[in-house]
Amino acid sequence: MKFQDLPLLRSLLDAVEQEGYEQPTPIQEKAIPPVLEGRDVLGCAQTGTGKTAAFALPILHLLTSNPPRSGRSGLVRTLVLTPTRELAAQVGASFDAYGRHTQTRTAIIFGGVGQVPQVRALRGGAEVLVATPGRLLDLINQKHVSLSAIEIFVLDEADRMLDMGFIHDIRKVVALLPKNRQSLFFSATMPDDIRSLADTILRENPVFVAVTPPAATVDLIEQQLCFVEKQEKIGLLVHFLQQPSANRSLVFTRTKHGADKVVQKLRKAGIFGQAIHGNKSQGARTRALDGFKGGITPVLVATDIAARGIDVEEISHVINFDLPNEPETYIHRIGRTGRAGTQGIAIAFCATDERPYLRDIEKLIKTHIPRLDEYPHRSTVPAPEPTDLRSSRPRQPLVQTKPGGNRRRSSGGQGRRRPR
């Protein structure tokens, strides 16, 4: 299928073409038609699948084609709720790019910066509002935002919303929305608590769409595992970052303090890196991300929450300095390399106390991550026996991985860009 085959306005198709996109991703192909029909959608899709365009394009079509239900122009008609500032900025930029040939205006509001420019943008008559929960409720309480005319509500990355403790804020926002609305609900995972939340937001019988990243993308990621004790991790990290191939590396830590500590120790070793996490100001986070995207900062050290919204195609290495305690998070992390037809390396460090996390990860992906036998700071503690992949939990893998860790080339479409 090509974008031309979708029943979208010519102005939107022209914008998509100008962005360099030809074919919709699976989530776009599955989600755009029911959204255009006015159906509620429950989508299971992670970062990098083209999820944003899957709701932005049909929303822009509906807003442009239909007059406001309230009969009053200048009111917010669509609300997109996101968990982080970075993701809000990314989603807002996508609406601007795809809607460049329409009259639809987008406003973005999030905390950590002054609210005056955001309030000014709202007063300018924005029809699409992209917001984080805290700042949105603040501006509602100050009477700067009204949700009375909302026709379409999007909850993006719902699982991360719950992880960040936004469940009560979400419920407050939903209670202020008109009952007669279209709702779109997206999450990278679908555990029971996420489905329960979806049931309170979506109308009966929503359209369910689920996709995983293309296998060819994962095939381009060479996975590696190092058994190393905590006190040896920094030395091993320095070793990998000093390799000529490590030109843009994303390092994951479990805590904010851990991210700052890693950056300090890397700088002592002569490696320039910056941290990005929730305790950083919005200005510092933006500067760090811009430096990483522009190649000025070769290493970005991030927590999982802060990393949501980071969309950089040419990341050479993803290094799990700390293994995540949720196995699905491992898949989200490594999926940030090996994009757009490029090859990438995902390295995981595993200390003795992290071995239960490794077992859960390998059960989920249903393969053993290839072990590196020779590397500096190799742990003297014997490596455990390979994990029994027969999980007691009947879980479906989110990606298909190839044992052996060999990098493969895509069988087609290498380098083709797809909308986010």
Per-residue pLDDT of 193-211, as tens digits, reads 899 999 999 999 999 998 8
Per-residue pLDDT of 118-134, as tens digits, reads 999 999 889 999 999 99
Distance CA 1, CA 142 (A): 47
Distance CA 311, CA 87 (A): 9
Where are the chain's structural domains? 3-210, 215-365
Distance CA 140, CA 316 (A): 42
For domain 3-210, give its CATH number from 3.20.20.150, 3.40.640.10, 3.40.50.720, 3.40.50.300.
3.40.50.300
Residue 175 tokens read as: 């209670």
- Please tell me whether residue 196 adopts helix, strand or coil conformation: helix
- Return the CATH fold of 215-365: Rossmann fold (3.40.50)
Taking the model in full, what pTM does it have?
0.65
Give the pLDDT confidence score for residue 211 in this predicted structure: 82
The region, left, alpha or beta by phi > 0 then psi within -120 to 50, assigned to residue 270 is left
Per-residue pLDDT of 378-399, as tens digits, reads 655 556 666 666 544 433 333 3
194 residue type, one letter: I
24, 233, 278 from 20: Cα distances, Å? 12, 41, 33
- Asked whether the domain spanning 215-365 has the same topology as the one spanning 3-210, the reply is yes
Give the pLDDT confidence score for residue 382 in this predicted structure: 56
Q: Are 23 and 418 in contact (CB under 8 A)?
A: yes
Q: How far apart are the first and last CA of the chain?
A: 17
Q: Are 112 and 85 in contact (CB under 8 A)?
A: yes
Residues 6+ positions from 270 with CB-CB distance below 8 Å: none
Residue 284 tokens read as: 């510092």
Of 67-76, 285-294, 361-370, give the lowest mean pLDDT range: 67-76
